[in-house]
Amino acid sequence: MGSRSILCDLDAQLNDRRIGIVGRNGSGKSTLARCLCGLIKPTSGRVQIDDIDIYADRKGAIQKIGILFQNPDHQIIYPTVGEEIDFGLRQIGHTAPQAREKTRQMLARFGTLDWIDRQTASLSQGQKQLLCLMSILAMEPDVIVLDEPFSGLDIPTRRILGETFQSLPQTLIHITHDPEAIETYDQVLWLDAGQIHHIGLPSQVLPRFMDAMMTASGLT
């Protein structure tokens, strides 16, 4: 069977603190998210954060960038909350006692210290998403990729997570199909058919994106 290119001729330098990426289903958004984090090897070109080649230097990448997946069940691998957060910390070189202390500190930061021995399977969808975020934050990456982080969450949980995201000092790359989620961001990249269709301020990109989506749906 022949191969198919998902992303083509992407060339962008992203320097802003809050970056949104929009596009219809199948435009390559999730593939781009995985490339940015070094989970998929590009067939040509490279992804670089500062002086780190994200795919070639996996240890450096883990400390530079983290990803919050759309479905937390695809991210959580350990049976208890404490073990889940400990794992990432051990991956970047902390001893078991150091990892456990940092895990306790992270849980206390979010008022969830009583979760430390809780079964991850007992958490709600929103709680699982918060656990994934805490696991990432514990490793202190410079950049966090959010891949449709509000999918399937109720409005109060969306609001809480949204406020948490906005308060973070890290650079955020927020991939979404919902323009409202990124309308206050610094820069928006519109991805279409695996290519950059437009890049600029939210006020420039999002109205055009919405017009295109309405036209494609036959509502205009």
Distance CA 131, CA 69 (A): 12
Tokens of 169: 């000092």
Distance CA 204, CA 17 (A): 18
SS3 211: helix
pLDDT bracket for residue 46 (50, 70, 90): confident
List the domain boundaries for the chain: 18-217
* Of the candidates 67, 73, 65, 62, the residue with the CA atom closest to the CA atom of residue 127: 73
For residue range 198-220, what is the model confidence (pLDDT) as tens digits?
Answer: 999 999 999 999 998 888 766 65
User: Which of left, alpha, beta for 72 (phi over 0: left; psi -120 to 50: alpha)?
Assistant: alpha
Distance CA 176, CA 218 (A): 21
Whole-number pLDDT of residue 1: 39
Query: For residue 82, is pLDDT > 90?
Result: yes
Whole-number pLDDT of residue 7: 61
Least confident of 47-56, 75-84, 206-215: 47-56
Whole-number pLDDT of residue 3: 54
Homologous superfamily of domain range 18-217: P-loop containing nucleotide triphosphate hydrolases (3.40.50.300)
Write down the pTM of the prediction.
0.87
Within a 10 A sphere around the Cβ of 217, how many other Cβ atoms? 9
